[in-house]
Structure 1
Amino acid sequence: MSQQGELERTLGLPQALAIGIGTMVGAGIFVFPGLAAGQAGPAATLSFAIGAGIALLVALPTSELATAMPESGGGYYFVSRSMGTLLGTMVGVGQWMGLVFASAFYLMGFGHYLVDIVAALDLGVDIPVTTIAFVTALVLTGISITGTKNTGDLQNIIVGVLLALLAGFLGHGLLDALGVLGGEQVPETFAPYGTLPVFTTAALVFTSYLGFAQIATVAGEIKNPARNLPLAMVGSVVLVGLLYVLTIFISTSVFSSEALAELGETAIVAVSRDIAGPIGAVAILIGGLLATLSSANASILSSSRSVYALSRDALVPDATANINKRYRTPHVALLLAGGPIAALILFGRVEVLAEVASLLHLFMYGLMCVALLLLRHHDPNWYEPDFTCPASPWLPALGAIASFGLVAFMQPLSIGLGAGLLAAAAIWYRVYAYDVSLKDERA
């Protein structure tokens, strides 16, 4: 049985950081090094730095918006209350589907790592990557239904083990890359494929930086949001961005860009094996398994909250906002996240999944920055944030320009799919919810 009601504030700063870090670490370190180096060479380090810079430009305005409106829904809630229901619906649906695409991408990476572990153990079992990803999507959805705290606790465990493994890898790898340890290395041209691939690669890998926004999505369940939201969002971007840049620097110091590209989604395993032998490879295999799992776990949670927020405002059917009477979670919304993720896994094109996820989030990020500018300009009585974005209006304006601009460097197929989903959201609004008056209308 279920009923509508309020979500509990059960997530503290450690859980909020774990959601952000756990979502971001997976793709950037364990899936993208081979793909990114194959496109941009060692300059992929700059691609990840560009992504981190754009994420920070958005994280600071988002922190202000979230402390003024600490409600579940994140970007959807901010845009709908400042820019109206049409754009709000497009952002809400985009946020939902962006996380669905991202989760499918993360779970495909999880499948690749599990297949490699099975092969390394020589178990003689041949399980398709898509089958592993599909089953895992169903399991994680079930865990989320049993309680938000269960998801937060799972994130804490996964991220704690993951960061311990990465500390060892990055510490040893950095000494090796700098020539203190290891053998002699042959230098490679920093940008062997030119300047443009640096930006197209930044557009591809931006999926790695979606985690900070997921923190805002569960703002309604975070304790002491005035303090914990800004700390969690900005802190997670800074820490994870540094980890990414170091990982690509180490990887391209150990292997050539061409070799990394051939190794594909699990290239980092070969890098770790070269640095620390079989023990290093096993450690990174375990780390990759945990990282991609934590990314998918956090994304499923956040995706469902987007659907929940849309339903609470009657922009989608009311039944999707039902709260499970036993677990106090939006179980219908969680099923609307897990179901499409399982379906997309069958699509299988990981780069397209990643770029569509990035595009839908960049659309939301750009509008959030614009929303902050509008709220500062109109200064409504209810707008009283506990955190103030510095350097306004210049910083949020730059965040909007950078977010929208990065979309231009994506593949045409990704742009077409993302634009199609946003257009479908606009059509849905016109057909189903054009006459909706928002509850708690603030604009």
Structure 2
Amino acid sequence: MSDEDDGKLGLPGAVSIGLGGMIGGGVFSVLGLVATIAGSAAWAAFTAASLVSMCAGYSYLKLNELSDSKGGSVTMFESFVGNSTIAGMVGWTLIVGYVGAIAVYAFAFGSFAEALLGLQTVFGVPIRPFISVLAVAGFVGLNVLGANATGTSEEILVALKLIILLVISGWGLYYGYTVDKLAFGFSRMTSVSFVTAIAISFVSFQGWQLVMYDQEQIKNAATNVPRAVYISIVGAIIVDSMIAILVTSLVPTETIAQHPEIAVARAVEPFIGQVGFVAVAIAALFSTGSAINGTLFSAANFAQGMLSDGLLPEEVGDTQASGASTRMVVILGVAAAALTAYGSLNGITSFGSLAFMVVFGTMSYLAFRHRDEGDITGVVPAIGALGTIVFFPLLLWHLYTDEPGVFSAVVLLSVAVIAVELVYFKRDSIEDGFETVEEQV
């Protein structure tokens, strides 16, 4: 091993970064919401979302081969679209999406911790937001220690949760088969609600993208990054599908709707009892914890790349830092903590899904547009682009008709983000405009 590889992540660590976020987002964060809408077809909704996400992953990897940006910076977008403002706005959208994803994972972490403790309030104060904020703060501290500590912790957390989930889901599916309760929801796969469920689950399949932003932290990146992207997506499909079938087969939809954040733990009670509930809740803490950890680590590296390219204000970090600066990690952590403390699970999830749909669709479109410049199979990015084009308006319509309060919050937040982006990237033009007015006056 060369000295320059010391302290870098190997393939297991890279896979753990991607898989940790996707399982934490799918099984323990949004499964309940997806199952409430798609019922026993939830497994197929997750699978469809992951396949569209894989098309985006393929597109991103191919664009990465054509670009010198190493995927860790929005200069990739700029090199293909030729517009720094659009590239910067895409980057800001990603950062906001990552903050939302961290907030979703922290929300689930707090919910499972609350269920394990058997307490909802202390002196009349809800403990879920408090635990969620503490979780974010803990992983902010861990990320400040550096890439090696983060990668090692990811491998341990992911390994533990995979063992628990595979054992429990295998046991549960066997139990469901013996009592003839397994349901697959084939009849629901042609409904509009099924497609809406696919859209909602999108936020749980952004983990592979985090690997792209860690290329400078990964050994033998040219080989290990593509492997990590595809392995993590396939792993997420297998685990999410098994758990979704288990939950929707053994837990009534009404029960899932009442407590969507802990639906997985409720599913094991019929065949394992309280011990199973505790085991799954512990696995959930490992899973959502690793999702917070990996997403924060990679989002900070991504933001550092934007800072180095002049697409973020210098005040948010250190342009001379070799990795993500402490200030950058803390700012992302504070934003996620605020969102998880005050936001709803449905609102945070929907906003994150919409943000990633925009970016995934953009990547797929760019790959399709440049299909003749490299070894790109056009049909794959075409599927990725068309999928997001269909899912985006359906998710908005679902929120407008079924969750008007959440719809208003998501729209207002989106408008605010876009407004801030425009003010930042058009600040020179705005300043020139004010100077012109002052001269005329």
Cα pair distance change 1:324/1:424, threshold 3 Å: closer
SS at match of 2:259: helix
Matches within 5 A, 1:52-63: 52-63=50-61
Cα pair distance change 1:434/1:333, threshold 3 Å: farther
Which one of 276, 279, 288 corresponds to residue 280 of structure 1?
276
Cα pair distance change 1:134/1:303, threshold 3 Å: same
Which one of 194, 198, 203 corresponds to residue 198 of structure 1?
194
Cα pair distance change 1:158/1:125, threshold 3 Å: farther
Cα pair distance change 1:247/1:335, threshold 3 Å: same
Which one of 30, 35, 47 corresponds to residue 28 of structure 2?
30
More deviation, 417-426/206-215: 417-426
**For residue 340 of structure 2, what is the aligned residue in structure 1?**
345
> What amino acid maps onto 1:263 in structure 2?
H
Cα pair distance change 1:199/1:187, threshold 3 Å: closer
Q: Percent same amino acid among aligned pairs?
A: 23
Q: How far off its partner does 1:281 sit?
A: 1.4
**For residue 409 of structure 1, what is the aligned residue in structure 2?**
394
CA shift digits 1:369-411 (9 cap, x unpaired): 223234445x4xxxxx8xx44xx22211221221233111222
> What amino acid maps onto 2:380 in structure 1?
L
Structure having the higher helix fraction is 2
Over 6 Å off, 4+ runs: 6-9, 123-126, 186-189
**For residue 330 of structure 2, what is the aligned residue in structure 1?**
335
Q: How far off its partner does 1:318 sit?
A: 3.0
Aligned mates of 1:57, 1:292 — CA distance in 2: 25
Cα pair distance change 1:328/1:76, threshold 3 Å: closer
Aligned mates of 2:124, 2:285 — CA distance in 1: 18
**For residue 167 of structure 2, what is the aligned residue in structure 1?**
168
Aligned mates of 1:186, 1:360 — CA distance in 2: 34
Cα pair distance change 1:355/1:433, threshold 3 Å: farther
Aligned mates of 2:73, 2:234 — CA distance in 1: 20
More deviation, 411-420/262-271: 411-420
Matches within 5 A, 1:125-140: 128-140=127-139
Which one of 247, 271, 293 corresponds to residue 297 of structure 1?
293
Aligned mates of 1:103, 1:247 — CA distance in 2: 22
CA contact (8 A) 2:64 2:71 kept: no
Aligned mates of 1:312, 1:115 — CA distance in 2: 40
CA shift digits 1:133-183 (9 cap, x unpaired): 11221221121111011111110110010111011112101212222xxx3
Counterpart check, 1:398 vs 2:383? yes
Q: How far off its partner does 1:217 sit?
A: 1.7
**For residue 357 of structure 2, what is the aligned residue in structure 1?**
362
Aligned mates of 2:310, 2:5 — CA distance in 1: 17
Matches within 5 A, 1:104-143: 104-119=103-118, 128-143=127-142
CA shift digits 1:239-283 (9 cap, x unpaired): 101211111111121122223222321011111121222222121
CA shift digits 1:10-37 (9 cap, x unpaired): 1221111000000111121123332222
Aligned mates of 2:162, 2:296 — CA distance in 1: 21
Using the size of structure 2 for normalisation, the TM-score is 0.86
**For residue 181 of structure 2, what is the aligned residue in structure 1?**
185
**For residue 43 of structure 1, what is the aligned residue in structure 2?**
41
**For residue 312 of structure 1, what is the aligned residue in structure 2?**
308
Q: How far off its partner does 1:82 sit?
A: 1.3
Counterpart check, 1:158 vs 2:143? no
**For residue 257 of structure 2, what is the aligned residue in structure 1?**
261
Which one of 409, 418, 422 corresponds to residue 422 of structure 1?
418
**For residue 14 of structure 1, what is the aligned residue in structure 2?**
12
Q: How far off its partner does 1:416 sit?
A: 5.3
> What amino acid maps onto 1:360 in structure 2?
A
Aligned mates of 1:87, 1:331 — CA distance in 2: 27
Aligned mates of 1:187, 1:127 — CA distance in 2: 36
> What amino acid maps onto 1:279 in structure 2?
V
Cα pair distance change 1:26/1:189, threshold 3 Å: closer
**Where does structure 1 lack aligned partners over 5 or more consecutive residues?**
1-5, 380-384, 436-443
Cα pair distance change 1:187/1:213, threshold 3 Å: closer
Aligned mates of 2:207, 2:36 — CA distance in 1: 25
Aligned mates of 1:431, 1:349 — CA distance in 2: 33
More deviation, 249-258/183-192: 183-192
**For residue 210 of structure 1, what is the aligned residue in structure 2?**
206
**Where does structure 2 lack aligned partners over 5 or more consecutive residues?**
401-406, 432-441
SS at match of 1:178: helix
Using the size of structure 1 for normalisation, the TM-score is 0.85
CA shift digits 1:31-53 (9 cap, x unpaired): 33322221121122221111111
Cα pair distance change 1:54/1:418, threshold 3 Å: farther
> What amino acid maps onto 1:56 in structure 2?
M
Aligned mates of 1:147, 1:324 — CA distance in 2: 16
CA contact (8 A) 2:129 2:341 kept: yes
Aligned mates of 1:118, 1:140 — CA distance in 2: 21
CA shift digits 1:49-103 (9 cap, x unpaired): 1111111111111122334447566472321221121221111101111000110
Cα pair distance change 1:309/1:126, threshold 3 Å: same
Q: How far off its partner does 1:191 sit?
A: 5.1
Which one of 76, 79, 82 corresponds to residue 78 of structure 1?
76
Q: How far off its partner does 1:189 sit?
A: 6.2
Aligned residues: 416
CA contact (8 A) 1:92 1:310 kept: yes
Cα pair distance change 1:374/1:332, threshold 3 Å: farther
**For residue 240 of structure 2, what is the aligned residue in structure 1?**
244
**For residue 404 of structure 2, what is the aligned residue in structure 1?**
none
